Amino acid sequence: MGDSLTLIDIFLRGLAVGAMAVLALGALRAGVNRDQRTAILLASVSIICWVITESPVIWSTIGPLWLLAIPACGVGGFFWLMVLVTFEDRRITPLLLAPAAAQTVLGLLRPSVAPALSEAAWWTLNLIAGAVSLHACIVVARGWNGDLMEGRRQLRGLLLGSSAIFALTNVVFAFLAKLDPSGPWLLFSGGRLYGGGVLSLLIVATVGMFVQMRPAVFGAARRSATGPDPRAEAAERQMLGRLNELMAADGWRQEGLTIGELALRLDAPEHRVRRLINQRLGFRNFADFVNSYRIEAAKRRLADPAEARTTVAAIAFDLGYGSLGPFNRAFRAATGSTPSEWRRQALQSSPDLQEAV
Closest CA to 203 of 42, 13, 35: 13
DSSP of 261-313? HHHHHHTS-HHHHHHIIIIIT--SBHHHHHHHHHHHHHHHHHT-GGGTTS-HH
Domains 3-218 and 287-357 share a fold: no
Would you state the pLDDT for residue 322? 86
Domain-wise residue ranges, the chain = 3-218, 221-284, 287-357
Give the tens place of pLDDT for each residue, 42-70: 999 999 988 888 887 776 776 656 677 88
Would you state the pLDDT for residue 136? 86
Would you state the pLDDT for residue 357? 46
Q: Which residues of the chain have pLDDT under 50?
A: 223, 225-227, 354, 356-357
Would you state the pLDDT for residue 242? 92
Closest CA to 313 of 328, 300, 303, 299: 328
The C-alpha atoms of residue 66 and residue 64 are separated, in whole angstroms, by 5
The pairs formed by 188-192 with CB atoms below 8 angstroms and a separation of 24 or more are 190/50, 190/51, 190/54, 191/54, 191/55, 191/56
CATH of domain 3-218: 1.20.1070
Phi, psi of 28 (to 5 degrees): -80, -10
Would you state the pLDDT for residue 356? 47
Indicate whether this model's pTM tops 0.85.
no
Answer for the pair 286, 258: CB distance below 8 angstroms, yes or no: yes
**C-alpha distance from residue 93 to each of 35, 39, 84, 96 (Å):** 10, 11, 11, 5
The C-alpha atoms of residue 267 and residue 287 are separated, in whole angstroms, by 20
Q: In this structure, what DSSP letter does residue 99 have? A: H
Tell me the chain's radius of gyration from C-alpha atoms: 24
Q: Is 262 exposed, middle or buried (0-12, 13-18, 19+ CB in 10 A)?
A: buried
Is 287-357 a CATH 1.10.10 domain?
yes
